[in-house]
Each structure stands twice: as structure tokens, then as C-alpha cells.
Chain A
Amino acid sequence: MGIFDGFGKKKDEKPRADFSNVQSGSSTTSAVPPAAGPGPDFRPTGTTGTEQSYTVVAGDSLSKIAKRFYGDANKWPRIHEANRDQIKNPDLIHPGQKLRIPGA
């Protein structure tokens, strides 16, 4: 037993559950606001947005994720485009990264 075993932990503390592979998404009956700029919005009201989010797990690649969400691995650039802010190199994604998955 190490000297730090149990240090700072309550006696009956349960191990934390692993939620790293949770997949989430959302959609709405509402129109989606324009991304930027004051230009007119010609989209009809009632448009259904279907962007989802996905947390990267070990062994994932953009093409694998594209295959899962779009049924076509070649659509990976769509996910890359939507996540330019956090994916500089499309061949390098990390477990735990939360990606935006645009609607198909």
C-alpha cells in the first residue's frame, strides 16, 4: 500500500463512471440564426437543423467518423471543415475531442 493510497478520498467513494464514449446531438423546429453578418436570412422558418456532436474515442479517424454518421468515409472533409478551429491536421485527432458533425 503506498503512502498516498486513499489520501483525499472519502472512505466509500465510488469509482467514477466512464462517459468518454457518449454520443450526443440536438435538433430543433426553430430556424437557425445566420452564422455571421447582418445579411437577410432567406431560410424558411421551421427549418430543421441536425448538427450533432461526437466525442472522439481511441482508434477513431475522420473517415471512420464520416462512415458512421454519413455512411460514406469520403465525406470526412465535411467534418474537418466544421472543426477547423480544433483540427489543424486531419490525420491527427485525439480521444476526448468533441467534434461538431454537420447534418448529412
Chain B
Amino acid sequence: MRHSKKIQLSLCVALLIAAAACRGNTGGTTGTAGTTGTAAVRVTDVTLGRSLGGDKAITDRTETFKPTDTFYASVTTEGAATSATLRAKWLFEDGQLVDESTRTIAPNNLERTEFHVSKTDGWPAGKYKVEVFLNDQSAGTKTFEVR
């Protein structure tokens, strides 16, 4: 009996130590995502379309494409940083990778970055998705279709 009380006491002490350690970790996390100078940058919009203007904004917005179209994704970012990384991951149907492109930028307030993909022999019909990452954190997803 005395032996089982000792075990219970040891467990309680271990739990208290673990709880204190958890509180310490929470207090130390500041949400800077580990990259200096990029905390202020954020993705505010992702738009899709068939063509692009000189300001990298979509001029012909659509979420339904033809097999011969080029897919354009225009990513709007706000905030300033000496370096930030944008990545566009294009996926087909059940997650088959179509393409993945990365671009490093040094944004200064409002900026637009476009990613595009084309396929000379035409896109297979079906549902597609583009997921945009900012510094490896998912920042937005758009789904679209080829008919």
C-alpha cells in the first residue's frame, strides 16, 4: 500500500514538472515564424485567370479554364521585408503534383507576384488546385476546373 502511494506521488510530481515546462514553452513563443524581418508580410489575395497585366494583376479572371489556357495565379502581398519566399504548388484532382515554383521577393508595401503554368499538348479536364505558401506557411488555396 505504502509502495503504491509512493508511485502516485511520483506521478503527481512528474505531471507538475511537465505542466511547468509547457507553460515555459508557451511564454517563449512569439509568433515570428523563425524568420527575421518577414513577420509583417502577409498574403492578402490570390486571384486566378487567363491573362495578366503589367502590374501582375489578373486581367481575365476565371475559375473555369480551357485545356489550351495558361493558368495564372496573382498573389498580392502587403508588408515589407528584406526577403520572403512565395511558393505556388499546382495540384490535379486527388493531389497529383502538376508543378511547384518558388520565388524570393523583397516586398515593400503592396506587391504582386504571379505564377503561371502552361502545357503545350493541353490540360486534362478535371479539378485543379493551387496552394500558395509564404515562407513555407500555407497562405491561401484556390480551386479551379478545366473543361
Is there an interface contact between A28 and B103, defined as CB atoms closer than 8 Å? yes
Residue from the set A21, A23, A26 with the largest chain B CB neighbour count within 10 Å? A26
Nearest Cβ distance between residue B68 and chain A, in whole angstroms?
13
* CA of A55 to CA of B101, assembled, Å: 11
Q: Is the contact region of chain B dominated by helix, strand, or loop, or is it mixed?
A: strand
Q: Which A residues touch B88, using CB under 8 A?
A: 26
Q: Which of A29-37, A58-66, A77-85, A88-96 contacts B (4 or more CB under 8 A)?
A: A29-37
A7 within 8 Å of B (CB atoms): no
B107 within 8 Å of A (CB atoms): yes
Is there an interface contact between B106 and A31, defined as CB atoms closer than 8 Å? yes
Which of B83, B93, B106, B117 is close to A23, meaning CB atoms less than 8 Å apart?
B117
Interface residues of A in 24-67 (CB under 8 A from B): 24-33, 41, 45, 49, 51, 53, 55
Is there an interface contact between A28 and B101, defined as CB atoms closer than 8 Å? no
Is there an interface contact between A30 and B96, defined as CB atoms closer than 8 Å? no
Residue from the set A17, A31, A45, A53 with the largest chain B CB neighbour count within 10 Å? A17
Is there an interface contact between A29 and B56, defined as CB atoms closer than 8 Å? yes
Give how many A residues have a beta carbon under 8 Å from the other chain's beta carbons: 23
Nearest Cβ distance between residue A97 and chain B, in whole angstroms?
14
A24-B101, A28-B112 known; A19-B107 Cβ under 8 A:
no
Is there an interface contact between A29 and B113, defined as CB atoms closer than 8 Å? yes
Closest Cβ neighbor of B105 among chain A residues: A30
Nearest Cβ distance between residue A26 and chain B, in whole angstroms?
5
Closest Cβ neighbor of B100 among chain A residues: A24
* CA of A24 to CA of B103, assembled, Å: 12
Tell me the B residues contacting A by CB distance below 8 Å: 55-56, 77, 82-83, 88, 90, 92-93, 96-99, 101, 103-108, 111-121, 124, 126
| 9 additional contacts (CB under 8 A) given A16-B96, A33-B82 | A17-B124, A19-B96, A21-B119, A21-B120, A26-B88, A26-B115, A27-B114, A29-B111, A32-B105
